[in-house]
Amino acid sequence: MTRRILGQPVRSVAFDVAVAGVVALLAVAAAPTPGGWGASVVGLAMAVALVWRRVRPVAVTAVVGVLAVVQVAFAWGPLPYDVAVLIALYSVVKYADRLRDGIVAGIVAGIGVVLAAVQTPSAVAWYFPAIYYGLVTGAVWLVALNVRTRRLYVLSLEERAATLEREREAEARAAVAEERTRIARELHDVVAHSMAVMIVQADGARYMIDQSPETARHAVRIVADTGRQALEDMRRLVGVLREPGPAGSASGQAAGPDAGATAGGTGATGPDDRGPDRAGAAGGPDAPGLAAEPVHRRPSVAEMPALLDRFRAAGLHVRYTVTGTPGTPGTLPQALELTVYRLVQEALTNALKHAGVGATVEVTLAHAADAVVLVVVDDGRGRPAVTPSPPGGHGLVGMRERVSVYDGSLTAGPRLAGGWQVRVRLPLPSTPVTEVITV
């Protein structure tokens, strides 16, 4: 942290003190002049005033001007320490809040130029020194004006950058909050379903405990497994809904660029179009001909073909590949299946919006022993939309929120061969849920 004195950085104050010291030396050197020590005292007062030239430029200029008038009144003529007048003029033009103060100081300095020229001993007419003093004073004033303009321009750029940064952070927080609300609603459905299953199984165990103890024990085991899974989902839900940390940490371990680069291919868009707007809202594809999902609908991986058919009808050439052993329906937790479904939905929406109609998309869902890996790749060679997508989307933020619920990883970005690629790895829960039985 920069140390400050008189409201200014130490380096600036040290520079001003050095300038004042030089003027003080010139004032002491003026003692042998006709003004004697009186002129030296005036010069020393000017030097002391210059220490505050950044903090109080108008007041310092006024003090230096009054002291210069005293010098003129005693007819001491121009002295070396009068350089303080030029320093004060430079300071008021550069640091004053209003340029009007600098203009007034310039007019007063012009009058002082004439008075100084009249009192200058010279073999030529008085107006020759006046022209010389006027050129020097005018050059100092113009240099100060140029520096002031650049300083205000830099300050405006810094303020604009700070404002844009605050707006970007607020926009990202709003997008995260909206996506968390959506995730909370969907996970609530999962938890509510788990609780309903537990109630049914518990009632069945109560009625069957005398007639069939084995069936009752099996039902109790289902209650325990389902409760553990519901507790894990609830823990993830609470983690997502916690107060967000610093920017960039809300995504947990999810990785990937916040803004995409230019994608290759004839249907690729510019760098600003394939960034945060790369992914659509989690509520469903934002494209013509695609129906929105009902509010309480809980899609699963088994419904993926129907989702792909809707995107095929919208104009994408979608190829779907499943590798590994997915197992029987319901093997994956319902919340995880919902996450996979929504990620595919968002990725295909992006392909339709940015790669265009006619693009080819490869969707690969790989089942491993400890994780589910989803890869969505488009070639970026579709027909571009007639109306470009509006900027400012936050789909990647939402996708990372979904992935971070399961401590997974997400990478998204352009491919060297053209198009865009999204790769997601979702670890499987350590405690499986036993298939529900009917009692």
DSSP labels for 22-41?
HHHHHHHHTTTSTTHHHHHH
Distance CA 152, CA 170 (A): 27
Distance CA 289, CA 309 (A): 11
Distance CA 273, CA 279 (A): 10
| Measured CA distances, 367 to 331, 371, 427 (Å) | 11, 7, 10
* 341 DSSP 8-state letter: H
Distance CA 333, CA 328 (A): 12
Q: Which residues contact 159 (CB under 8 A, 6 or more apart)?
A: none
Distance CA 31, CA 321 (A): 96
Tokens representing 8 are 């200014």
- Look at residue 362 in the predicted model and tell me its pLDDT: 94
Phi/psi for 258 (5° steps) reads -80, -25
DSSP 111-174: HHHHHHHHHS--SS-THHHHHHHHHHHHHHHHHHHHHHHHHHHHHHHHHHHHHHHHHHHHHHHH
- Look at residue 87 in the predicted model and tell me its pLDDT: 92
- Look at residue 131 in the predicted model and tell me its pLDDT: 87
379-432 per-position pLDDT tens digit? 988 766 544 555 545 567 778 888 888 889 999 989 888 889 999 999 987 644
Question: How do strand 409-414 and strand 420-427 relate by DSSP bridges?
Answer: antiparallel
Q: Which of 417, 283, 419, 433 is nearest to 354 (CA)?
A: 419
Q: In the chain, which residues have pLDDT < 50?
A: 245-296, 327-329, 386-387, 392, 431-439
Q: Which residues contact 322 (CB under 8 A, 6 or more apart)?
A: 364, 365, 366, 367
* Domains of the chain, first to last: 4-121 (no CATH), 251-427 (3.30.565.10)
Q: Which of 254, 286, 300 is nearest to 410 (CA)?
A: 254
Distance CA 104, CA 89 (A): 10
Tokens representing 171 are 């926009």
Residue count of the chain? 439
- Look at residue 365 in the predicted model and tell me its pLDDT: 93
| Measured CA distances, 103 to 93, 130, 171, 254 (Å) | 8, 19, 43, 58
- Look at residue 410 in the predicted model and tell me its pLDDT: 92
Dihedral sign (CA 173, 377, 337, 310): positive
- Look at residue 422 in the predicted model and tell me its pLDDT: 93
Distance CA 372, CA 65 (A): 79
